[in-house]
Each structure stands twice: as C-alpha cells, then as structure tokens.
Structure 1
Amino acid sequence: MSDSPPPPPSPATASPPSPSRVPSPSPSSSPSWQRPVRLSLTDLLLLGLVGIRSRRMRAVLSALGISLGIATMILVTGIPASSQRALDRELTALGTDRLQAVADNRFAQKGETASFPKEAAAMVDRIAPVKAVTMVGNVHVKVRRSDRDHSGSSVALSVQAAQPNLLQVINTRVRSGHYLTAATGRFPTAVLGAAAAADLGFQDLTPGAPPPQILVDNRWFSVVGILHGAPLAPSIDSSVLIGWDSARKTLGFDGRPTQLYIQAEESEIEDVYSVLPATIAPASPDTVRVTRPSDALAAKRSTETAFSGLFIGLAGVALLVGGIGVANTMVISVLERRREIGLRRALGAARGHIRSQFLAESVALSSLGGLAGVLLGSAANALYAACRGWPLTLPLPAAGGSLVGAVLVGVLAGVYPALRAARLPPTEALATV
C-alpha cells in the first residue's frame, strides 16, 4: 500500500459552498470612505471660525454692525431705566404710595369733633398691601407762646397726640433735636412742626442747652425737637406733637384718632383706597374722608408706558439692522469662497457639512458681535448715569435677551447663505479655479 495523499477533487466534481454559509456584509465591515462623517460640536465651532479668522477685517466690520445695534438697545433700555428710577424717587416723594384718612366733621354731633375708633390703626394694618400706618389725635387745647412770654396770649396751633413712627409714614425728618420715642412719649415733651416753631419764635435747638418750655393747657412741656417741612402732611407743619401716652395722662386725651396716615404698595393703592372707609369705621364708613392718590401717580404710570413702547421699537430696529449686516456678509462670503466649497465637496464633504459650516460661522459672528455690544452698551450706560448722578440700572433681561437675539439673528441670517453654499455643484465651483 502507498502512503501518498489522495488526489484533490476535480473542479467538475467540487460542490459549491452552501448559500447559508455565505457571510452577510455588516456595516462595520464596509470601507471607512463609505461611512458618513459626523462633525462634533467642537469641530463644527472651529470650522465656523475659519472664515472669521481668515477674513478678520471683514468679520470685525460685520460684527461691529450688530454690536452697535445691541449696544444701542442696551443704551435705549439702560439710560431711560436709570432716568426712570430717578424720576420714581422724585414722584414717590410726592406721595404716590400714601393715603390720608380724616374724620369728617360734617357727621359729628353739635359741639363734638369727629374721630375714629381707637382700634382703627390696628384694623388698617391688617390690609395686606399696607406697609405702615400711624395715627394722630387732636387734643383740642391751647398753646402759650413760651416760658419767656407772660402775656397770656394763645397761639392758634393744634396740639396733636402722635406715635413714634409718624415721620417714617409722612416722609419727613427732624431738623433740630430729636423726635418722640416710646420712652419720651410718656413724659411732657413736645416736637414742633416747621410752621409751629416759626410761630412760637423758635430757631434750631442748641445742643446741650436746657430745652425751651411751652405752656400747653397750663402744663409745661419741654421742646425736644423741630421738624423739617412735611409736604405730604401740611397739618403737621402747624402742629405741636406730643406723645400718645403723655396726652392721655396729662391733658385728658380720650385716645381716639382724628387722622390716619397710610403707606401702601403703590400698585395696590387704589384697592386700599376703596376699602379704607369700611375698615376704619365699619359702622359708619361715610364719616371717613380719604384722600385720593396723588396725580403724580398717573403721570408716573404714563411715563412708564411711554418708555416701554420706545424700548420695544428701538430694540427691534437695532436687531433688524444687525441681522441684515450679517446676512450681507455671509452672502458675499459664499460668493468669494466658491473654490473652497468646490474643493471640499470634491474631497468628500457632504452638503450638510457645508450648510453646518456657514451656519456656524454666521452664528459665531453674530454672537461675538452681540457680546461686544452688551459690554460696550453697559459701559456707556454706566458712564452716562454717573455723569447725570442717576442710580445705575443695568437691564439684565435686556442684556440676556440681546445675546439670545444675536444668536437667533445669526441663525436667520445664515440660513440662506448656507443653503446656497450647499447647493453649489462641485464641478461648477472648481471651474472657477
């Protein structure tokens, strides 16, 4: 027997492989040049900055257009906002957030003076928009000129029992000396309004000197303070103010207030006005006479409305001008970069890559311009407010909205140039080389 291997089968007798054994192609086994290329966010951003870096002067001029537009929007919102705050302070000082309730003497019985219930201030303080409330009561006694005047003549000044928070609510302050406190209000001490001090012949009090004396209903009171004028409460100017407890103990005051001063939320001032009579005197609301909000409140709200309309109009124009500038720059960029587009397409770049490149460039250009505009506008706003002595107001919503608007403008301005660049055939683009 021979040990030689058996002969190989002839081609005629060889059986073909079973179809079930033929391996099916998998996506991973396909060549790399057949697989679509996906650009990462970083690559897309770097690709979008290529045009900006290669044409820096044009990019600067284009970004300057949108940055000036954004800076204009910051200025037209920031400067009037600072001016509005300064105006608000002046108008608020006129009493746009304050009300005054007076007991109407027309409903009082003959020989009596109208007054409110003792718990009137506490009931008003329960109204949610009310921030502060104070009360004064007419004591109905006479005042002699001073301890140096023995003529016996009386001065036509009202003596009012007051509370320690009066100055805060009527928005005035002490000109000389000090105001009544919870402690000093229990003793025979007095504070004079500006007109009352002039009528009594008092100037500013001398620090460290014994306080001057006034005779109130045959009781001596020490003058411990003199007030500035009170434009929101003219009756206080011609009054002698004494402590609530002192008036009850020494002058027989019944503790019933005749006037209430209320400070409330300005936006809710009309609502507070409408419920005050029933709150102060539930049994007889007709006896309560409430002053209406100052006319300055209507003027203040009309200026706010006018400023708001101006802001919206100027902001829209600024964004429109900036968007047109960016769109114009991107269209010119597509026309000048036809060779680059054709070469990239010939090397395998898809239309989506071209669209993404020009769209990213437009967004980057608008975003840079928007950021520069926000910084420029904020600096100009701060400088102008400082020169005018206004409180600085940086409109953060406007700044944030400007950046978002710049991105949206970049997207809208880059859509048409990006589509035009993507539709450019490679052969036509390379024919210009």
Structure 2
Amino acid sequence: MSVPRSRLRSSDLAGLAFHGVRAHPMRAVLSGLGIAIGIAAMIAVIGISTSSQALVQQRLAEIGTNMLTITAGKDFLGNETKLSPDAVPRVRHLDGVAEASWTSDVKVHVYRSPAVPTGATGGLVVRVADQRLPETVGATLAQGSWFTSVTRELDTVVLGSATAEKLGITRIGMQVWMGERLFTVVGILDPVLLAPELNTAAMVSPERATAVFGFDGIPTTIYERSADADVLGIRDRLPLTVDPASPGDVKVSRPSDALAAKNTVDQVFTGLLVGVGSIALLVGGIGVANTMVITVLERRREIGLRRSLGAARPHIRAQFLAEAILLAFLGGLAGVLLGVGVTGAVALANGWPLAVPVLIPVGGLVATVAVGAIAGVLPAVRASRTPPTAALSS
C-alpha cells in the first residue's frame, strides 16, 4: 500500500507565514522598518518632485508658454548694446504679435525709508514699466491696482512680491524711498512665473520716471506674446525687427524654456535621491535576510518535527520563503502609506496639487516583494536542507 504524498495547501502556507511573523513581533517590526524607510524615501522624493512639477505645469498652462523676452546683447567687441526707443512699436506691428510691452532699468534704488544706508539695496531694483506690462507677462495684483491715468502722473509705485516682502510693505498706501523722495505704494504683484525679475523690482510709470529720474525712453527688456503656433517663426524674425542694422546684437529668449530646464534639473536630482532610497531598500532587504537566517537557526526543532511528520523539502522551503515575502510586503505597505502621507503633507503645506503616479507606489510594492523573495531564498533553502534527525537533536 503506497503512502500518499503530503501536500501543503495555499491557505496552510499563508497561515504558517503569518504565524512565523507573529511569533517574533519586535524582530519583524525592526526588519520591516528598513524596507519601509527605503520605500517611503523613494515614494516621498518622487511624489514631492512630481507634485512641484505639476504646480509648474499648471501655472504654465494658465499663463501660457508663448512669451518671448528681447534684450540687448553685446557687439563684436564685447560692449553692451542698447535697444532703440522705437523697438517696441516695431515689435507690435510684426505679423502674429498679439501683445508687446517693456521695462527699463533706472539708476535709482528703493529703500524702506530715508534712514536706510544707501548701499543696503537688498538686491532690489527700480524699473520703468509700460502700461500694458501685466497683460503681456501674465502678472496679477495681490493688492491694489496697476497704474491708472491718475496715479501714473503721481509719485506712485507698484512693488514686486519679493520687493514688498523685503521692504516690509504689507498693504497699499504705505510709502517707500526712491530718488530722494517718497513714493506711495498703489499695488503689490503676485509672484510672476515667466518674468521673475519683476518680483524683485519696484515699478514706476514712464511719465513719472521721465519727470523725476530723467528717463531717456530706451527700453531694457521687451516682452512679446503671440499665438503658440507662431512663437518659433516670430522668434526668428524678432532680432531683425528690433535692430535691422545689427540683428546679432539682440538676444531673444523663451522664459518657459528656462522653466523646462529647471524641471530637467529637478528630475536629475530626483533620480539621485531615488538612488539613495534604493540603497536604503537594499539595506532593508539585507535586514530581512538576516532575520530569516536567525529564524531558521532558532526553529531547527520545528523544522525537524515537520520533516518527521511528512513535510517535504519544498514545503519547508516554501514556508520560510513565504515568511520573508510577507515580512517584506508588510514593510513595503507601511512604506507606501508613509511615503504618500509625507508627500501629501508637503504638498498641502506648499499649496501644490498632490501628484503621485499610481505606478510609483505599485512598482515600489512589487520591488519590495521581489527584494523579500530574493532575501528569503538562501534561508529557505538552508531550512529545507536541514536533516530531521540533526534538527530534532539540536
């Protein structure tokens, strides 16, 4: 009469794995913690990066990527050139141009009061700003308003967001010191994404700059907007339009390209941090392997008893491999929850949209299970090769 071969059902295997993990809860927690930290680090780094990039993409979608910036370059001798006073009207008459505006730097600094030392500029500059500037660059007012037909004839100023913060200006109606006289703040801008130089500027109207600072009417920077489909064509024609005699002395840039480059740098930095998280995950896997090796040594009697009762080597191997995978899975699940939670907290604190690709936590969990399986192979094989007699006599 043949003896039926022993079988290990999936439900029994799962029960054995859970029992093995529950038997030493503190050791299981410490082993799973290494896995959890590695996965949480990777998910948090990727999630925070993608959330910040989602905010940039959202803002770009709102204000558009069809703005070009024109500035004077250098001649063949390396000397700074200047744009001509009629450059802006020529740009506005170029086919396909929807909007054009300008600013010009003046050799005046802005201070909170006359008591501030002359050299303490804080990196702030004063710019003459065209009336159509907000519409062209997509700027919005946090407080107050842009120059009106009345205020542009008076000693009034509109501050960039960083300028207002550095000067301690919290509301309109307060005054700042420029060109040996007080100017009243009539507006404070929100941060301008495509023209960040405006954030650290104090802007005055051309009329007042001419009367008070002797403004010569020459723009320093021209901002131009067109339809998305026309951007590249207009970009090629702008230098000749702005300066027909020396088009090579004109620089044309696309601010959204700089933002795209910044996102690329962020992605590279994110990749570096993900590498660090992967190392943490590897260390966690080694911790799981170490735990399983110790578990096999401590449970030699159990292994011997199960073998003497008919458990085959594959059954023992499957039991300990399942324990390692379960340990890694629980650690990975905790890491996924922790990583998503950290990302959500950072996004909420900074006002970002939460953007964690589903593939990231799912892929992280799959990677964790794979690490657990690899880490558990050697201890599982070692356990299955333990002779029953040697195990029971230990």
State the TM-score, normalizing by the size of structure 1.
Answer: 0.54
Task: State the secondary structure of the residue aligned to 2:389.
Answer: helix
Kindly provide the amino acid, as one letter, of the partner of residue 314 in structure 1: V
Q: Is the 8 A contact 2:292 2:376 kept in 1?
A: yes
5 Å-filtered alignment, 1:14-413, equals 33-35=3-5, 37=7, 39-40=9-10, 42-78=11-47, 98-100=67-69, 115=90, 120-121=95-96, 133-135=98-100, 167=135, 169-173=137-141, 176=144, 191=148, 197-200=151-154, 238=205, 261-262=224-225, 272=231, 275-278=233-236, 287=244, 291-294=252-255, 297=259, 300-301=262-263, 303-305=265-267, 307-383=269-345, 389=350, 391=352, 393=354, 395-396=356-357, 397-413=359-375
Alpha-carbon offset, residue 50 of structure 1:
2.0
Kindly provide the amino acid, as one letter, of the partner of residue 64 in structure 1: L
Q: Is the 8 A contact 2:34 2:280 kept in 1?
A: no
Show structure 1 runs of 5+ residues with no match.
Answer: 1-29, 123-132, 138-157, 180-189, 205-225, 241-258
Show structure 2 runs of 5+ residues with no match.
Answer: 73-81, 103-127, 159-185, 208-221
Q: Is the 8 A contact 1:358 1:418 kept in 2?
A: yes
Alpha-carbon offset, residue 75 of structure 1:
4.0
Q: 1:323 to 1:426 in 2, by over 3 A?
A: same
Deviations 1:122-144 (A, max 9, x none): 7xxxxxxxxxx53569xxxxxxx
Please give the alpha-carbon distance, in whole angstroms, between the structure 1 residues aligned to 2:289 and 2:87.
Answer: 81
Q: 1:343 to 1:112 in 2, by over 3 A?
A: closer
Alpha-carbon offset, residue 332 of structure 1:
0.6
Please give the alpha-carbon distance, in whole angstroms, between the structure 2 residues aligned to 1:359 and 1:202.
Answer: 75
Please give the alpha-carbon distance, in whole angstroms, between the structure 2 residues aligned to 1:237 and 1:403.
Answer: 56
Alpha-carbon offset, residue 404 of structure 1:
1.7
Alpha-carbon offset, residue 370 of structure 1:
1.1
Please give the alpha-carbon distance, in whole angstroms, between the structure 1 residues aligned to 2:7 and 2:335.
Answer: 36
Please give the alpha-carbon distance, in whole angstroms, between the structure 2 residues aligned to 1:398 and 1:48.
Answer: 27
Q: 1:166 to 1:419 in 2, by over 3 A?
A: same
Alpha-carbon offset, residue 416 of structure 1:
0.4
Q: 1:90 to 1:331 in 2, by over 3 A?
A: same
Q: Is the 8 A contact 1:354 1:422 kept in 2?
A: yes
Q: Is the 8 A contact 1:69 1:319 kept in 2?
A: yes
Kindly provide the amino acid, as one letter, of the partner of residue 266 in structure 2: E
Structure 1 stretch 405-414 or stretch 292-301: which is displaced more?
292-301
* Matched positions, count: 307
Please give the alpha-carbon distance, in whole angstroms, between the structure 1 residues aligned to 2:295 and 2:148.
Answer: 78
Please give the alpha-carbon distance, in whole angstroms, between the structure 2 residues aligned to 1:306 and 1:96.
Answer: 23
Please give the alpha-carbon distance, in whole angstroms, between the structure 2 residues aligned to 1:398 and 1:297.
Answer: 24
Alpha-carbon offset, residue 360 of structure 1:
0.8
Q: Is the 8 A contact 1:96 1:296 kept in 2?
A: no
Q: Which structure's residues are more often helix, by fraction?
A: 2
Deviations 1:310-364 (A, max 9, x none): 3122112210111011000000111111111122122222211111111111000
Q: 1:67 to 1:113 in 2, by over 3 A?
A: closer
Alpha-carbon offset, residue 377 of structure 1:
3.4
Kindly provide the amino acid, as one letter, of the partner of residue 293 in structure 1: R
Larger radius of gyration: 1
Please give the alpha-carbon distance, in whole angstroms, between the structure 2 residues aligned to 1:66 and 1:264.
Answer: 50
Q: 1:237 to 1:428 in 2, by over 3 A?
A: same
Q: Once superposed, what is the RMSD of the aligned Cα atoms?
A: 5.2
Q: 1:197 to 1:306 in 2, by over 3 A?
A: farther
